[in-house]
Amino acid sequence: MYAIGIDVGGTKIAAGLVNPNGEILHRFTHRAHAEQEPAVVIDAIEAAYRAVVRQSGVNPERIRGVGLGFPGNTNGPAGVVLVCSNLPAWNHIPLRDIVAGRIGRPVILDNDTNLCAVGEHRYGAGRGAKNMVYVTFSTGYGIGIIINNRLYVGHTGTAGELGHVVITVDDGPPCTCGKNGCVMAYASGIGLSRMAYQAIDSGADTSLREVAAPDRRRISGEQIAAAAQQGDTVAANILHTAAGYGGVGLSMVVQILNPERIVLGGGLTRIGAPLWEPMQAAMRRHTQPELWDSVQVVPWQLGDDIGILGAAAKVFSDTEQ
């Protein structure tokens, strides 16, 4: 038996045929992405599914199901996308049933970070932990929650929106969700770039000016980390601020959920020690000692395959129950 995991991301759609051991046997990448209209994305999902089936030569009857990981808010149990990409056309689209109708196989849908949590729990750094939280520190900031070995999604599927918890009382910076002062307005790729442009606009003496663009194209975490490494104190402070708020987020996870393990992943974690160290320091500073003593914080293990493996892992775990 196999599962197909399909990760609908912000720049591409990645699909893979996965066996129960968590090995990706065949892959296909489509250039469509989640910032496009539903009709385009639905066609691309179907094309990616058919390409993987064709490449592998597997009889579709042996595919237990297709897992779809989606950015934005989803109601996984209902199979519905609630909000995505600030494109109104996505609101309340019953994507699971539309795709299932196209391909004739069972489909599960969930938020991408939730599925990453399932993937790390089944195949990665979360193995063996009954209560685990996956934290993604990438373009955005969010968590997926495993309680008693099961994904916890809440009443309407949107549990884990830690990135959009407001941590400033007044006048916080704008967030992509429309509120002000969310964790993600600092602790994310979007937050890092925002703080970089804010420093540039205020006339700060920083080499980040050289990578800024008139269209305010995002300045990446890697660019900010590289500037910090070369002694740019403005860049170092921005990194420190993002890491500090990321650590505040981790402390909230520990204070509220008391997990056994936190798995920290996402592209920004590749910055390494300049991000990890201040983040862990902030987490400790803001967490009661008897609580942080009880939790391990470990890096992810699935890396760039996490989206495909997480979506497939959810198919396997759902069909085992």
The residue among 87 and 177 lying less far from Zn ion, judged by its C-beta, is 177
The residue among 175 and 227 lying less far from Zn ion, judged by its C-beta, is 175
Helix 273-285 vs helix 221-229: crossing angle, to nearest 10: 100
CB of 32 to Zn ion, least distance (A): 26
CB of 180 to Zn ion, least distance (A): 8
What distances in angstroms separate CA 152 from CA 133, 172, 283, one per listed residue? 10, 29, 23
Residue that the structure tokens 């939730």 belong to = 114
Quick one: which of 7, 96, 13, 79 has its CA closest to 47? 13
The residue among 28 and 186 lying less far from Zn ion, judged by its C-beta, is 186
CB of 44 to Zn ion, least distance (A): 28
The residue among 25 and 256 lying less far from Zn ion, judged by its C-beta, is 256
Identify whether the C-beta of residue 279 lies closer than 8 Å to the C-beta of residue 32.
Answer: no
Angstrom distance (rounded) from CA 261 to CA 282 = 17
CB of 182 to Zn ion, least distance (A): 3
CB of 193 to Zn ion, least distance (A): 15
Contact residues toward Zn ion (CB under 5 A) are 164, 175, 177, 179, 182
Counting Cβ atoms within 10 Å, is residue 148 exposed (0-12), middle (13-18) or buried (19+)?
A: exposed
The residue among 128 and 174 lying less far from Zn ion, judged by its C-beta, is 174
Element (H, E) at 296: strand 296-299
